Structure 1
Amino acid sequence: MARIVYALTSQGRGHSSRVTAMAEALEARGHELLFCAGGGAGQLLAESGRTVVSVPVLRHKMHNNRIRLWTSLASMGLVTARTHKVIPALVERFRAFDPQLLITDFESYSVRAARRMGLPLMCFNHQQVLTHTRYEVPPRYLADAALARLVVNMAAPNNAEHVLVSSFFYPPLRDPARSSLVAPILRRAIREIEPQTGEHVLVYHNDPTGLHGLLEAMAALPEQRFIAYNFEPPANAAAMPNIQFVAAEVEGFLRDLAAAKAVVCTAGFTLISEALYLGKPLLVMPNEGIFEQTLNALYLERDGLGEAIYHRVPEAADLRAFLGRLDRYTGRRPTQLRCGNDDAVACIEAVLERLGAR
């Protein structure tokens, strides 16, 4: 069996959920894993008893549901410049582990270390659906799509042995010989929990910094209970008795997701995939400036799986109208019960076999 370095970004909860699921699958096949991550993702993996090499976290800066592009680039550039000594340390740690392969989920330090030591690598993420598939978008988004492809191509390594993309929608691949598309990667807890339909709506925003209007919209529906994750309770939280503010916590989030009557969230891939698997109606609000989320929302609507609000946050009228249409989306659909874990493991092992044959 192989020794694999598995590296992931700490931007958002989805990457850590995907890697946790894949860790279980790969370890069950006898592969030995060394993880490379920082922030909450690294902490989550370490708490599960896995060996983690910590790296600096490069984060997007958000304000009012929009990425602050130049501020984000400047911040990431500054952190990268200040932490250049991380690479030699990573090379030393990787060489001691003696891996056959690096799998990177959009983590940049590990890629630079792998280049320095000649370690083969493969990419495994959702973002490269933007660069490795042929999808159609409305004309107003053509420029955004082109810019997003450029940014992802610049950020992703160009020497990958293979690109593995996980997605809940399936546009044709540009180059099937060098890339693969699999169904969503689902952690065991999602696959095993039995969904129910409760009375609350789960609300999640990946970074509510400076967010205006969403809490007020929920408060304007006093008859509806909302459970809000990742929100700091405002000074006037007492005037919003129908909103329960909950700190991010994996097991509690899973329970509330499984029992929700509906989900209102940003358009990140992992939460959409998990909610669809559990048969939850979805209303999403893509982060402006992150075209991957816009594309997720477009396909969610195109395939009749949920609804989306673009370029703003939902207002009270939007929430009320969506909640009045839940019957359109409630229930588990056979097409959404696909799980890509086994296909992803098979793809990784095919890459390892190809490398061993050289």
Structure 2
Amino acid sequence: MRIVFLVQGEGKGHLTQAISLGQILTEAGHEVVGALVGKSPDRTIPSFFEREIGAPVFLHDAPNIIYNKKGRGINLPKTIMTHLGSLPHYLKSLHGIHKTIESLTPDLIVNFYEIYGGLYNVLFRSGIPMVCIAHQYLLQNPTFTFPPKSSIDRKFINFNTQATSWLCKRKLSLSFRPMPVQDPKKHLVVPPLLRREVRLLEPHQGDYLLVYMTHHSLSKHIIDWHQKHPEVKLVCFWDNRHEGETVQYGRNLVFHQINAEKYLHLLAGCKALVTTAGFESVCEAMYLGKPVMMVPVPKHFEQQCNALDGVISGAGISAKSFDLSIVLDYLPRHQDQSARFRSWYMQGDNMFLNAIEDFGHGTVSHNRPMPENKSSKVYHR
């Protein structure tokens, strides 16, 4: 099968999921012929994506979340008004996506939570089947546990989630753990998509906390805490394009630009991960048996849901602020869930192939053991 990826470019989660699925599909004899990725002025697509996706990459302008300054979370009114004013520009991007897909002649489109996916199906009716993959589709599962008093937020996020998947053939909900489904022909719960490099890591106990944040404005909280506890070693990752590759704040606090290889190496050796409740980062930590403190971005309902679900799944604890004293107090009572999580994760390759090949002409047997590490082919634009 010839397959095109549509990928939301905000954060690293959807990007690494696309890389992982691309490896699975390539090893099964399919071809990813293009990856169409949404970008925005305040975001840069990490270099590792183009290096590892194994297909030509096509960038297009897409809506993104706008944050308040000084780490005060999402600015929802500004996000909505900014993107309403940019609708003509986004419509132009959608037409560009259509032309690119036509030129690539795929048998299937796989959408990683890109908002243009549903709009593309509705407006262009190309007849190309689409499978949608994201953790956010799990929030449409009737058995999912939501934060209390969240009915309005639930309706808002589920409308956005539904819009990404209008007229799709099947949704695949990435989940920390197995969950029941009502209609497996339309909606499946599947294991996370993790980079194969994670499986090659040897976890060990280091002397530092690892911090990953989805937006550099949140770094103020980390710096403030560190000034009160300078003896605790902190290694942080951010996406601050106004700073250099590495920024050192005193002896025990350093910020790195997002770098996939460096991040995974440091994750394997940390005492615990502190993260802004992104699904992918929590999954990688669970695979390696690392405790997690999840700090949802203020006013970011999806991350509030991720944090609650992560706690239920045994990943660690949730907190409302970057008070790292909380995770240090938690560490002695953490129970390692890596064996159970790995058992669920290892079912993934077969589940993804079977779900996707329903809409193509795949003839591969999926009962073989997964290969240890094969590098995908790399193409350049």
The CA deviation at 1:273 is 0.4
Q: Are 2:276 and 2:297, in contact at CA under 8 Å, matched by a contact in 1?
A: yes
In the alignment, what sits opposite 2:2? 3
The CA deviation at 1:56 is 1.2
In the alignment, what sits opposite 2:35? 35
For residues 146 and 134 of structure 1, the distance between their equivalents in structure 2, rounded to whole angstroms, comes to: 16
Q: Structure 1 residues 192-201 or 61-70, which shifts more?
A: 61-70
Structure 2 residue identity aligned to 1:37:
V
For residues 249 and 137 of structure 2, the distance between their equivalents in structure 1, rounded to whole angstroms, comes to: 43
Could you tell me which of 205, 209, 233 is aligned with 2:213? Answer: 205
For residues 153 and 63 of structure 2, the distance between their equivalents in structure 1, rounded to whole angstroms, comes to: 22
TM alignment of 1:105-120, pairs within 5 A = 105-115=112-122, 116=124, 117-120=126-129
Q: Are 1:124 and 1:165, in contact at CA under 8 Å, matched by a contact in 2?
A: yes
Q: Are 1:134 and 1:174, in contact at CA under 8 Å, matched by a contact in 2?
A: no
The CA deviation at 1:55 is 1.4
Secondary structure, counterpart of 2:216 in structure 1 = coil
Change (3 A) 1:109 1:304: closer
In the alignment, what sits opposite 2:140? 131
TM alignment of 1:265-284, pairs within 5 A = 265-284=275-294
Structure 2 residue identity aligned to 1:11:
E
The CA deviation at 1:95 is 2.1
Could you tell me which of 160, 165, 170 is aligned with 2:173? Answer: 165
Q: Structure 1 residues 128-137 or 96-105, which shifts more?
A: 128-137
TM alignment of 1:308-323, pairs within 5 A = 308-310=318-320, 313-315=321-323, 319-323=324-328
Q: Are 2:36 and 2:57, in contact at CA under 8 Å, matched by a contact in 1?
A: yes
How does the TM-score come out when normalised to structure 2? 0.82
Secondary structure, counterpart of 2:298 in structure 1 = coil
Secondary structure, counterpart of 2:283 in structure 1 = helix
For residues 306 and 20 of structure 1, the distance between their equivalents in structure 2, rounded to whole angstroms, comes to: 26
For residues 210 and 305 of structure 1, the distance between their equivalents in structure 2, rounded to whole angstroms, comes to: 22
Q: Are 2:147 and 2:308, in contact at CA under 8 Å, matched by a contact in 1?
A: no
Could you tell me which of 281, 285, 301 is aligned with 1:291? Answer: 301
The CA deviation at 1:43 is 5.1
Q: Percent identity?
A: 25
TM alignment of 1:1-358, pairs within 5 A = 2-33=1-32, 34-39=34-39, 40-41=44-45, 44-48=48-52, 49-63=54-68, 64-115=71-122, 116=124, 117-153=126-162, 155-209=163-217, 212-230=220-238, 240-310=250-320, 313-315=321-323, 319-329=324-334, 331=336, 333-337=338-342, 338-339=344-345, 340-352=348-360
For residues 195 and 53 of structure 1, the distance between their equivalents in structure 2, rounded to whole angstroms, comes to: 36
For residues 114 and 150 of structure 1, the distance between their equivalents in structure 2, rounded to whole angstroms, comes to: 16
The CA deviation at 1:176 is 2.7
Q: Are 1:42 and 1:54, in contact at CA under 8 Å, matched by a contact in 2?
A: no
For residues 213 and 45 of structure 1, the distance between their equivalents in structure 2, rounded to whole angstroms, comes to: 29
Structure 2 residue identity aligned to 1:309:
A
Q: Structure 1 residues 266-275 or 80-89, which shifts more?
A: 80-89
Q: Structure 1 residues 107-116 or 159-168, which shifts more?
A: 107-116
Where does structure 1 lack aligned partners over 5 or more consecutive residues? none
Q: Structure 1 residues 251-260 or 125-134, which shifts more?
A: 125-134
Query: Per-residue CA shift, 1:52-108, capped at 9, x if unaligned?
Result: 222113210122252111211223334442243333333333223221111111223
Q: Structure 1 residues 136-145 or 172-181, which shifts more?
A: 136-145
Change (3 A) 1:91 1:142: closer
Change (3 A) 1:177 1:65: farther
Q: Structure 1 residues 334-343 or 5-14, which shifts more?
A: 334-343
Q: Structure 1 residues 268-277 or 177-186, which shifts more?
A: 177-186
Alignment length, in residue pairs?
345
Q: Are 2:73 and 2:299, in contact at CA under 8 Å, matched by a contact in 1?
A: yes
Q: Are 1:132 and 1:175, in contact at CA under 8 Å, matched by a contact in 2?
A: no
Change (3 A) 1:96 1:144: closer
Q: Are 1:42 and 1:52, in contact at CA under 8 Å, matched by a contact in 2?
A: no
Instruction: Provide the alpha-carbon RMSD of the alignment.
Output: 2.5
Where does structure 2 lack aligned partners over 5 or more consecutive residues? 363-381
